[in-house]
């Protein structure tokens, strides 16, 4: 685990360091018209950087007590894999923290499942389910440590231009190194999500 965190620190140094001023201009001063989504810990804005690259800017909410921990966890989990969202850069100081993410033009899976103006046929639904399963298999078994997402739901599955599903939002994820027990003593989740097994079964 220590080796992993050291590698993560080196990787953060290789990210693009983007100034607050550039992010402000890129997002039209963090305009509401640029919001892609928001949650308890952050708001995400669409933005265009100086070089013309379209990105998603994830701005962490300093009113939340968990903001620093959430930012640190997401910064650590920057594993390059086909079905995990890619971090391009960051902007961090004592009063502002943001991650610059790969822009996913087709939005979240939730939109495609529940909005009347969008449609996914059964084959495409199966493709996205396989994308998510492959990402989870990699997080659980493809590394020398284990990453538990703890917040997997349709809003956190994003779709790229080819409708490939990527998992996003690792703000409450758990990391376990070799020899550590995976024991969950407290349910960690966001509103609208409940993990399988948390609902007691009642025989009718």
Q: Spell out the domain ranges in the chain.
A: 2-102, 109-176
Architecture in CATH of 109-176: Orthogonal Bundle (1.10)
pLDDT at 202 over 70: no
Closest by CA position to 125, among listed 140, 110, 145, 142? 110
CATH-assigned architecture of domain 2-102 = 2-Layer Sandwich (3.30)
The residues, ordered by sequence, that sit 6+ positions from 125 with a Cβ below 8 Å of its Cβ are: none
For the residues 148-168, what does the mean pLDDT come to?
A: 93
User: What is residue 197's predicted lDDT score, i.e. its pLDDT?
Assistant: 45
Structure confidence at residue 194 (pLDDT): 52
Rounded distance between C-alpha atoms, residue 66 and residue 49, angstroms: 28
Residues with catalytic roles: 151
What's the average model confidence in pLDDT over 168-192? 62
Query: Contact 146/199 with Cβ under 8 angstroms?
Result: no
Query: Where residue 38 falls among pLDDT bands split at 50, 70, 90?
Result: confident
Least confident of 16-30, 67-81, 85-99: 67-81
pLDDT at 85 over 50: yes
Judge whether 81 and 87 are in contact, CB under 8 Å.
Answer: no
Residue located via tokens 């998603």: 56
> Distances in Å between the alpha carbon of 64 and those of 53, 100, 119?
30, 20, 35
Rounded to 5 degrees, what are φ and ψ at 38? -150, 155
- 87: helix, coil or strand? strand
Among 12, 140, 154, smallest CA distance to 81 is for: 140
DSSP 173: -
**Would 2-102 and 109-176 be classified into the same CATH topology?**
no
User: Considering only CA atoms, which of 84, 90, 70 is closest in space to residue 14?
Assistant: 90
């Amino acid at each position: 685990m220590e080796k992993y965190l050291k590698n993560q620190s080196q990787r953060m140094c290789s990210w693009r360091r983007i100034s607050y001023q550039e992010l402000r201009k890129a997002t039209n001063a963090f305009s509401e018209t640029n919001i892609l989504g928001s949650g308890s810990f952050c708001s995400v804005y669409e933005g265009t950087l100086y070089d013309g690259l379209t990105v998603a800017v994830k701005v962490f909410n300093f009113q939340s007590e968990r903001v620093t921990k959430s930012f640190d966890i997401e910064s650590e989990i920057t594993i390059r894999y086909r079905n995990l969202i890619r971090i391009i850069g960051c902007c961090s100081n004592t009063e502002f923290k943001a991650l610059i993410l790969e822009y996913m033009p087709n939005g979240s899976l939730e939109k495609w499942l529940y909005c009347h103006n969008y449609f996914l046929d059964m084959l495409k639904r199966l493709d996205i389910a396989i994308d998510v399963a492959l990402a989870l298999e990699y997080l659980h078994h493809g590394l020398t440590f284990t990453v538990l997402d703890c917040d997997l739901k349709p809003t956190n599955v994003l779709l790229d231009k080819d409708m490939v599903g990527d998992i996003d939002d690792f703000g409450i994820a758990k990391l376990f190194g070799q020899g550590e027990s995976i024991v969950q003593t407290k349910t960690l989740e966001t509103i609208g999500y409940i993990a399988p097994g948390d609902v007691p079964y009642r025989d009718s």
